[in-house]
Amino acid sequence: TGLLVVPPAGFAGYVWVDAGRSNTGTLTFRNPLRIPPELTPQIDADGRRRFRLTLQEGQTELLPGKQTPTWGANGTILGPTLRARRGDQVAVDVTNRLPETTSLHWHGMHLPAAADGGPHQPIAPGATWRPAWTVEQRAATLWYHPHLHRTTAKHVYRGVAGLFLIDDPESEALPHRYGVDDIPLILQDRNFTDDGRFDEANLGFGGVATTGLLGDDILVNGTYDPHVAVRTRQVRFRLVNGSNARVYDLAFSDRRSYALVATDAGLLETPQRLERLRLSPGERAEIVVPFRRGERVVLRSSRPAIGGNVFTRRLAGGADTFDLLEIRAADTLDASPPLPGRLTRVRRPAVTVREPFRLELGEFHLNGEVMDHARMDRVVQAGAVERWEIRNPGQNVHNIHVHGASFYVLSRDGGEPAPADRGEKDTVYVPPDGSVTLAVRYGSHSDPRLPYMYHCHLLAHEDAGMMGQYLVVSAADATRVPARHESHG
């Protein structure tokens, strides 16, 4: 899949270009959208909400009449939706019934590093991992996925991922009947082999595939060729880019405008009117969309070729267009709550660290270094707010996700951030020749030994080592722990 463009003499490398792909007119939207079930927790004696997830292999009928071997949590593909409110104590018992060691990371969650589920918390086959923490952030659409170094791309692609929703009264002023007028849409691209398996060619990093896998078939919540019926005048969609590498540029087939109400880490201060929204891997957005009775409209992604440089983009020419989902409005629609003019109050933190952190996105490393479990790249103080200056001087699409923290985008390419960059975020898109500056607020949990990660969320890049680690330490430890060091033990 894709087009291998032969470069001119003197050009330093091949670029795998996904050019001019389209599925429009090929879908019939025959399958009802799967809605991941909500997982009911057990309430422990101390009030803690305890969830149980079992990671397992299975088979799922995605294409008509074909069984696709897939991985999932408590099912054959994807996993259930976990929910909690701010202030809740939660615990998850994660049992690994997969044939390989994996991990499970709570993307966007503010929690102690030991509960983070990154590469330092592997779960061996047959083992159960039991993280516990207190939810201490505002309402947001978070998600979980495996995060073992070098196998993240494969494990996510095979189907392990799910949502973790945090609720609070501000979020409940918006439509919030799950699966009715509050509908999650997990977007994931796949390639299928003729016999209906997931094609894993280009999944890993290497050879000419510098972007990683780009699939021609888009699954929504693990549904191929989906439609969803709605019966209210306004519907909230929680968009999650759970793809390995694909960036979506989302719009409706009739170009209707809708309200962007939240980005990765929570509500925006005020709804933003949009027609298009870009979402890179790992990013989330919540939108509220108006419907008229009896109508049908298609959610679509249209964008220029991902990856490449001036040379390949010129050759690639066309844009990709993928129909994702047909929305079918009922003949009578229930009224929806009016959209609040103000959704929340956003208090942007002031930067507290004197020197900015400069981060150059290389191909495929960060500031010239690849991930090393034993190397602590940075040490920061709990609660500190640091300015990050990120630059992508290369020819590949990247983004940056920071664990255990959230941030505000201060500027993009020297100018004002676009609406989709506003609000509190944890993942930010950085295209070729792009730059962003962030105000990153670190979490409150310190641990002088266990790090958090920051990395590109294009999973092949992450697996190739485009990842670093940082320790969050207390003020007392800040003088004792060297700013950069090898860890022992």
Residues lying near ligand C2O in the complex (CB under 6 A) are found at: 105, 107, 145, 147, 282, 401, 403, 453, 455, 457
Q: Which of residues 337-356 bind Cu ion (CB under 5 A)?
A: none
Asked if 456 is part of the footprint of Cu ion (rule: CB under 5 A), the reply reads yes
Q: How far is the CB of 39 from ligand C2O (least distance, A)?
A: 19
Residue 461, SS3? helix
Q: How far is the CB of 410 from ligand C2O (least distance, A)?
A: 22
Cα separations in angstroms, 3 against 9, 17, 19, 394: 18, 5, 7, 20
Which of the listed partners (Cu ion, ligand C2O, none) does 453 bind, with a CB threshold of 5 to 8 Å by partner kind? ligand C2O
Which of the listed partners (Cu ion, ligand C2O, none) does 461 bind, with a CB threshold of 5 to 8 Å by partner kind? Cu ion
The conformation of residue 407, written as its DSSP 8-state character, comes to E
Q: How far apart are CA 431 and CA 438, in angstroms?
A: 15
Q: How far is the CB of 427 from Cu ion (least distance, A)?
A: 12
Asked if 246 is part of the footprint of Cu ion (rule: CB under 5 A), the reply reads no
Q: By C-beta, is 183 or 456 nearer to ligand C2O?
A: 456
Cα separations in angstroms, 473 against 106, 234, 273: 21, 45, 41
Q: How far apart are CA 117 and CA 30, in angstroms?
A: 37
Asked if 458 is part of the footprint of Cu ion (rule: CB under 5 A), the reply reads yes
Q: By C-beta, is 334 or 433 nearer to Cu ion?
A: 433
In this structure, are strands 162-167 and 82-85 parallel, antiparallel, or unpaired?
parallel
Q: How far apart are CA 168 and CA 139, in angstroms?
A: 5
- Does residue 364 have a cis bond before it (omega within 30 degrees)? yes
Which of the listed partners (Cu ion, ligand C2O, none) does 282 bind, with a CB threshold of 5 to 8 Å by partner kind? ligand C2O
Which of the listed partners (ligand C2O, Cu ion, none) does 405 bind, with a CB threshold of 5 to 8 Å by partner kind? none
Q: Label residue 176 exposed, middle or buried (CB < 10 Å: 0-12, 13-18, 19+).
A: middle
Q: How far apart are CA 249 and CA 302, in angstroms?
A: 5
Q: How far is the CB of 282 from Cu ion (least distance, A)?
A: 11
Quick one: how many helices (H) and strands (E) in the chain? Answer: 4, 35
Q: By C-beta, is 279 or 478 nearer to Cu ion?
A: 279
8 Å CB contact between 239 and 279: yes
Backbone phi and psi for residue 192, each to the nearest 5 degrees, phi listed first: -110, 145
DSSP 422-440: -SSBSEEEE-TT-EEEEEE
Q: By C-beta, is 227 or 398 nearer to Cu ion?
A: 398
The structure tokens listed for 339 are 């959209």
Q: By C-beta, is 422 or 457 nearer to ligand C2O?
A: 457
Q: How far is the CB of 239 from Cu ion (least distance, A)?
A: 21
Q: By C-beta, is 247 or 329 nearer to ligand C2O?
A: 247
Cα separations in angstroms, 376 against 68, 307, 426: 40, 30, 21
Q: By C-beta, is 441 or 457 nearer to ligand C2O?
A: 457
Q: How far is the CB of 72 from ligand C2O (least distance, A)?
A: 17
Give residue number: closest CB to ligand C2O. 107
Which of 206, 247, 264, 248 has the alpha carbon at shortest distance from 398? 247
Which of 328, 259, 273 has the alpha carbon at shortest distance from 299? 328
Asked if 461 is part of the footprint of Cu ion (rule: CB under 5 A), the reply reads yes
Where is 311: in which H helix or E strand?
Answer: helix 310-316
Q: How far is the CB of 458 from Cu ion (least distance, A)?
A: 4
8 Å CB contact between 84 and 111: no
Which of the listed partners (ligand C2O, Cu ion, none) does 147 bind, with a CB threshold of 5 to 8 Å by partner kind? ligand C2O
Q: By C-beta, is 412 or 461 nearer to Cu ion?
A: 461
Interface residue with Cu ion, options 105, 158, 398, 455 (CB under 5 A):
398
**How many residues in the shown chain lie near Cu ion by CB under 5 A?**
4
Q: How far is the CB of 250 from ligand C2O (least distance, A)?
A: 19
Which of the listed partners (Cu ion, ligand C2O, none) does 398 bind, with a CB threshold of 5 to 8 Å by partner kind? Cu ion
Which of the listed partners (ligand C2O, Cu ion, none) does 445 bind, with a CB threshold of 5 to 8 Å by partner kind? none
Residues at the site binding Cu ion, with contacts judged by CB under 5 A: 398, 456, 458, 461
